[in-house]
Structure 1
Amino acid sequence: MSKVFVNISLSLDGYMAPEGMTLENWDRPD
Structure 2
Amino acid sequence: MLRDEKRYYENLLAELEKEMLEGTEDGTRNF
Q: Structure 2 length normalisation: TM-score?
A: 0.42
- More helix by percentage: 2
Report which of the two structures shows the higher radius of gyration computed on alpha carbons.
2
TM norm structure 1:
0.43
